[in-house]
Amino acid sequence: MTVRIEVGYRAGVQDPRGLATLDTIRSFLGIPATNVRSFDVYLVDAALSEQEAEAVRRHVTDPVTQRSALDRLAPEPFDFVIAVGFRPGVTDAVGKSALALVRDLLARPLEPQAAVYTSRLYFVSGVDRQQATAISEGLLANALIERFEIADRDQYLASPPDTSVPAIRTSHVPSVQSIDLSGDDEALVRISRERILSLGLDEMRAIRDFFARPEVTARRAQLSLTRDPTDVELECLAQTWSEHCKHKIFNATIEYREPGREPVTFTSLFKTHIRDATERIRQQQLEQRGSSWLVSVFHDNAGVVAFDDAVHVVYKVETHNSPSALDPYGGAMTGIVGVNRDPFGTGLGADLLYNVWGYCFADPHHDGPVPRGLMHPRRIRDGVHRGVIEGGNQSGIPYGRGWEIFDERFLGKPLVFCGTVGRMPVTSAGRPTHTKAARPGDRIVMCGGRIGKDGIHGATFSSAGLDESSPVQAVQIGDPITQKKMFDFLLEAREQGLYDAITDNGAGGLSSSVGELCTSSGGARLDLSRAPLKYAGLDPWEILISEAQERMTLAVAPDKLPALLRLAQRREVEATDLGEFTDSGELLVTYGDRTVASLPLDFLHEGLPALHLTATWSPPLHPDPVLPPDLDHGALLEALLRNPNLASNEKKSRHYDHEVKGLTVVRPFVGASNDMPSDASVFLVRHGSREGVVLSEGINPFLSDIDTRWMTASVIDEAVRKAVGAGGRLDHMAGLDNYCWPDPVRSDKTPDGEYKLAQLVRSTAALSEFCQAYGVPCISGKDSMKNDSTMGGVKISIPPTLLFSVVAKIEEVTLAVTMDVKQPGALVYLLGVTRDELGASALYRHLGAIGTSVPRLDPSETIPLYQAVQRAIREQLLESCHAPTRGGLAVALARTAMGGELGIDVDLDLDPHARALDTAAALFAESNGRFVVTLAPDKSAAFEACLAGCAFARIGTVTAARSLRVRHGSALSIDADLRRLKAAWKETLDAV
């Protein structure tokens, strides 16, 4: 029996969701609806008495503001009603909580399959059926995960209330297939494509050849396995060997060609340019100070660095691009709750402290066509924000950094970066927390959520471009509360020493988590029939590779198992013993008594044939624009501040918590009215200490249009400079590299693959060079290499994008300096060298050009300056410190003044470098290595003493009048009202 309960607001009580929906229908879809009211619907699928049903109804209804009814609640007048509910199998977190309420309320056992399903009704006035359909498809329901029905008033009232539930009821009997690989190359490629394995021909051949080996055949006969691989084995190999998991392009052997130079061969960009650079920095630290603060880098789920005697700091940033393109809300939410599991699955697990997010979208104001199969960027942006807001807030983790970049090339695939900083005790239960090892005999315990078909083929699918055949089940919906309960339980278990190793179930599901953990013991025997399922009917291969969310895998010593399971039960977390870690040398998978996979670990992890690729660089030619002599620099500044790339995104950002845990010191927004983005954020790491961390980042995909080498140098410099300017220590600063690239492998689909690969080589070489120069080691990173979309016959590739994130230590958090000016009369200094570097700048792009003069970087010039700024901060000489980045000096001056709600009056002719430039370059060049700082006049002598040997100029003063006056070339170039500029700067993204 199913009980249907409808809940709505009482007449006269505001319906905020209805009002917000109405607003979006009108402003985004342009449909002149006149009213929207919404109802919540609960379908309780359990045998309840009438009294019980009535009690449940009462308890899900707010007695003050709401009304409700069993079956149907009488709506107010409307034209069309739209019913939106989940498709079968989609996570319904609200339903789960409602079931907990029902159980508490009834205090009697319910049948095991009892469930609550939620859905919504929207009663819309002022629309016709076509408009109601447009509202459903364009706003209220995502067909991948939700279904909707539309009825007019007469139809609705004449039809019986719908009590059908989206339960998965299948008669499918789980089975295991053998896959015949004896066919020709074409057949192998077809198998890979049809099963979404994303394996290349070489890889398919390697698998075929492996299974043909006599010793393998003999072993399989012993186990009663077919000669051919089973679907379980093939799928497991495909997950393990996916680009997502094995980083094949970063590990490929690459021949790099450049005109006029001998070709160079790199064996693995990861090893030569990233890992080796970090190792050299570690050696440098050991030589210079006798110790290194690098604790655990690259081999675990996140990087670990030393912080103080008690705790280490853990950091990881991930991307979740493809899922966010298909289901922005669910994809982005799993992006944030997924990356939470990385620090949590590092060593024996870290407490989670702060999140970071950053997104690359097409302009939400986009009014051109959107290729079929893609969503409008405004809808993607709204959904992504909502997903990360809810995921982060419900997990109780504040955000530390947030940013957005807009470019039309992100129309095909948005980039959704999510990261998490954690803190781990140096030791827990008497053991070092940063290491872990499953031991032979340890039990394989999976805990958290259950397994369903959600997220099958996520890893292999994200290793391919997006097209119309992309699998819908690759989308998962997060359930942050299930995960939060699991984390609370696991922290207790960690402190009690109840497990030996932990890792998350992310890409590849159990195949990856067990496959990775068992390398330390030397093997595993896993019984898939024991795995808890959301619903029956999953084949063993699906259980093995499902990426259903909120799951961690543990290695538990047999004598600790009872205590662990007991604690799990008390904390309302499901934990299941799925088998045993062994030292047999193989991953043996059974389904009950039947063996369904036998994969030697050396083949699973080392059998992947190396990729050989060619990269060919040719510098692009984008003519420099000829600037008209009568440029209105004030108007240009206002136009740049209105550009979404430089405009305020505070409206969305305020929906993210940034204070929970009570550790926040410098927020993502600072200034007199707390509305200006900070250069870097500062947090305590724990209560009772005044040491903290500084977080910042650099990103500038626009520079890739000229040269990814200087793009990379610039984003490293941006991140480092912003952190130093806020008070972070350059000698205790670690970096994370997150690469998002268009497919860099030449093929019919990607004829320019060699160029894109050359862009990658130039970028990683620069990463190595400049990280070493700054002594900022990469401790973790990730690459996402197939950010192309072919939808409706249109191929869209993203510009090569590198996010460089840093975390630095600050000894005393109140030494931190923010970017906003503080007092009239303060002196304004420009530090560093401004050059004629307008290439790919915000100004050039505003004028429709790219140009050639990309900003460069000379660490021998910047490092002494950064050390000088550090000294000045330690001596508390600075009132404000701001790093000019995109938009150049003019935007930086405007921001620092707007932040302090004061004015600035400067003469750039006082700076010898700026004086020598055209006014446009002096104002808008995006040269690296610069700061704008302000300080009290009585500090100037001490400050200038700090700066001995560095390029600097005192260029003016902070004024009480709220205007920005900039002189250059003996003329007043900008004389702008800062109130007006600030309004312009806020308007663009406040409107969407």
Partner 1 sequence: MPSELESARTQVRTLVVTGLGLNCEEETAQGFRMCGAHVDLVHLGDLLDDPRGRRLSDYHILSLVGGFAFGDHIAAGVVYANRLRYRALDSLLRFVDDGGLVLGICNGFQTMVKLGLVPALDGRYATQQATLAANDRLGYRDAWITVRAEPRSPCVWTRGFDLMDLPSRHGEGKFIAESPEVLARIEAEHLVALRYVDDRGQPTQAWPANPSGSTNAIAGICDPSGRLLGLMPHPDAFLYGFSHPSWPRRKLRGSLPAQGDGVRIFQNGVDHVARKLSGSRETV
Contact residues toward partner 1 (CB under 8 A) are 13-14, 16-17, 19-20, 40, 59-60, 62-65, 93-94, 96-98, 100-101, 104-105, 107, 389, 393-397, 479-481, 484-485, 488, 570-572, 654-665, 667, 670, 672, 674, 687-688, 813-814, 816-818, 822-823, 879
Comparing CB distances to partner 1, the nearer of 14 and 224 is 14
Give CB contacts under 8 A, 24+ apart, made by 255-264: 255/612, 255/613, 255/614, 255/615, 256/615, 256/616, 256/617, 256/758, 256/761, 257/614, 257/615, 257/616, 257/617, 257/758, 258/616, 258/617, 258/758, 259/617, 259/618
Q: In the complex, what is the shortest distance from the CB of residue 131 to partner 1, in angstroms, rounded to a whole number? A: 22
Q: What is the DSSP letter of 136?
A: I
Whole-number CA gyration radius for the chain? 29
Q: In the complex, what is the shortest distance from the CB of residue 16 to partner 1, in angstroms, rounded to a whole number? A: 4
For residue 843 the two structure tokens come to: 């100004």
Please give the Cα distance from 335 to 323 (Å, whole number).
9
Q: In the complex, what is the shortest distance from the CB of residue 723 to partner 1, in angstroms, rounded to a whole number? A: 17
H-run or E-run covering 266:
strand 261-267
Residue 394, by phi and psi: left (phi above 0), alpha (psi -120 to 50) or beta?
alpha
Comparing CB distances to partner 1, the nearer of 407 and 820 is 820
Comparing CB distances to partner 1, the nearer of 439 and 654 is 654
Neighbours of 650 (CB within 10 A): 18
Please name the residues in contact with 977: beta carbons below 8 A apart, sequence gap of 6 or more: 962, 963
Nearest to 930 by CA among 957, 959, 905, 955: 955
Comparing CB distances to partner 1, the nearer of 684 and 833 is 684
Comparing CB distances to partner 1, the nearer of 113 and 814 is 814
Q: In the complex, what is the shortest distance from the CB of residue 385 to partner 1, in angstroms, rounded to a whole number? A: 10
Q: In the complex, what is the shortest distance from the CB of residue 15 to partner 1, in angstroms, rounded to a whole number? A: 9
Q: In the complex, what is the shortest distance from the CB of residue 484 to partner 1, in angstroms, rounded to a whole number? A: 5
Q: In the complex, what is the shortest distance from the CB of residue 958 to partner 1, in angstroms, rounded to a whole number? A: 13
Q: In the complex, what is the shortest distance from the CB of residue 65 to partner 1, in angstroms, rounded to a whole number? A: 5
Comparing CB distances to partner 1, the nearer of 339 and 486 is 486
Indicate the SS3 state at residue 757.
helix
Please give the Cα distance from 721 to 882 (Å, whole number).
9
Contact 959, 905 (CB under 8 A): yes
Q: In the complex, what is the shortest distance from the CB of residue 501 to partner 1, in angstroms, rounded to a whole number? A: 25
Contact 711, 620 (CB under 8 A): no
Beta strand segments in 407-465, E: 415-425, 427-428, 431-432, 443-448
Indicate the SS3 state at residue 79.
coil
Q: In the complex, what is the shortest distance from the CB of residue 287 to partner 1, in angstroms, rounded to a whole number? A: 36
Comparing CB distances to partner 1, the nearer of 427 and 814 is 814
Q: What is the DSSP letter of 209?
A: H
Q: How far apart are the first and last CA of the chain?
A: 44
DSSP 916-960: TS-HHHHHH---SS-EEEEE-GGGHHHHHHHTTTS-EEEEEEEES
Q: In the complex, what is the shortest distance from the CB of residue 389 to partner 1, in angstroms, rounded to a whole number? A: 7
Comparing CB distances to partner 1, the nearer of 740 and 813 is 813
Comparing CB distances to partner 1, the nearer of 124 and 840 is 124
Q: Can you give the length of the chain in residues?
A: 992
- Bridge partners (DSSP) of residue 82 are 122, 150
Q: In the complex, what is the shortest distance from the CB of residue 992 to partner 1, in angstroms, rounded to a whole number? A: 15
Please give the Cα distance from 936 to 200 (Å, whole number).
64
Comparing CB distances to partner 1, the nearer of 573 and 757 is 573
Distance of CA 216 to the CA centre of its chain: 41
